[in-house]
Amino acid sequence: MTSSSFKTIDSMDVAGRRVLVRVDLNVPMKAGKVTDVTRIERAAPTLSELSAKGAKVIVLSHFGRPNGRHVPEMSLKPLVEPLAKAVGKKVAFAEDCIGPPAENAVRALKPGELLLLENLRFHKEEEKNDGAFVDRLSALGDVYVNDAFSTAHRAHASTEGLANRLPAAAGRLMQAELEALHKALGAPKRPVCAVVGGAKVSTKLDLLGNLVGKVDKLIIGGGMANTFLQAEGIDVGRSLSEKDLGATARGILAKAKAAKCRVLLPIDIVVAAEFKAGASSSIVDVKLCPADQMILDVGPKSIALFRSELDDCATLVWNGPLGAFEIEPFDAGTVALAKTVAELTAAGRLLSVAGGGDTVAALEAAGVAGRFSYVSTAGGAFLEWMEGRTLPGVAALIRAA
């Protein structure tokens, strides 16, 4: 999907107009303080640009899952300052996203000024995509900009409803996400390699099923690799695995074979008797996992194999860590492969796209997130996109174009 499939803010006349901008300020917070400002910083360019063009910028977001109730701990108010800092301008706040508080605050806005409305999900109608609620939101603006790819898998009032009601366009972050994802799986340069890791096959069945029909090579790591190894008759000792998914795993491998997708599983493994930082571990052949130990990472031979397989690839898409990366030394495989990807990307030999909550954390821990071609801000939306699903928020923008 290129920007010819949806409108961008280039084609929108915003000067002096009220622009409703859906962003994703659902950021990690601890004790009222934001612990990771990535989503705020990535939302800022669209807000700054609209403000510079003289728009009255009305910012919409959800936070957490308050289930339609007013939950004070989930107020967006603590995000006013971090947002103002990222945009470099003052941001006003309205205590509700509809009704008099919102209406009065919008009326007070001058061209170029910004206003953040309270958490949309304090109203149950947001998640229900309720028509009357969409009406009340849309009455606050003249046009709508969706810059929240990471919530585009939700068909909510602010992510889908508004696009059907007002002239709609993608913001710069949405545009960048869609263009990067298009290059990665939509119309990629081949060969394409996918790296999929994480704990369980069961959470990624649709994703794996979709990928084997699209990519040329599929590297599988993490706990989910154990299920595949076991399905092929390899003893995985006390490793995390889903025994009842053997037939499913074999089905995915058969589908891959039919689609000429090469599936690469670990050939050596890092094993330990317990899962804790600095636990004594050893590297063994994949067929030699001791009965009383568990697989916690891929070994150096696996990394060398994955590296050589990446060498001729033009495109890479990555979701999920290869090992138990949150604990040293079991992060080594993920870090080593991520560094290779960063180097190939820097050399101009690889277009690399990564996404999904744990993935971004792993790449950041490896210090290479900034060296991938694109790292998505999305968790669930990235997974649904990898599953080949239509994201309602994106579909609505395309329909509106």
Q: Closest approach of Cβ 396 to Mg ion, in Å?
A: 19
Q: Tell me which residues touch ligand 3PG (CB under 6 A).
A: 24, 26, 65, 150-151, 154, 379-380
Q: Which of positions 377-396 make contact with Mg ion (CB under 5 A)?
A: 379-380
CB of 58 to ligand 3PG, least distance (A): 19
Q: Are strands 351-354 and 268-272 parallel, antiparallel or unpaired?
A: unpaired
| Length of the chain, in residues | 401
At residue 369, the 3 state secondary structure works out as helix
Asked if 97 contacts 58 with a C-beta cutoff of 8 angstroms, the reply is no
Nearer to ligand 3PG by C-beta: 78 or 380? 380
Size of site (CB under 5 A) for Mg ion: 2
Residue 26 interacts with which of ligand 3PG, Mg ion, none, CB < 5 to 8 Å by class: ligand 3PG
User: Is 357 among the residues known to form the active site?
Assistant: yes
Site string for Mg ion, 339-378 (x = CB under 5 A): ----------------------------------------
Q: What is the DSSP letter of 197?
A: -
Q: Which residue is nearest to ligand 3PG (CB)?
A: 26
Helix (H) or strand (E) holding 256: helix 246-258
φ/ψ region of 197 (left if φ > 0, alpha if ψ in -120 to 50, else beta) reads beta
CB atoms within 10 A of CB 398: 16
**Looking at residue 154, what DSSP letter applies?**
S
The answer to whether residues 119 and 61 touch, using CB atoms and an 8 Å cutoff, is: yes
d(CA 388, CA 252): 16
Out of ligand 3PG, Mg ion, none, what residue 151 binds, judged by CB under 5 to 8 A for its kind, is ligand 3PG
CB 97 to Mg ion: min, Å: 20
- Catalytic residue status for 200: yes
CB of 192 to Mg ion, least distance (A): 26
Q: Which residues are catalytic?
A: 39, 200, 357, 380
Residues of the shown chain interacting with Mg ion in the complex, contacts defined by CB under 5 A? 379-380
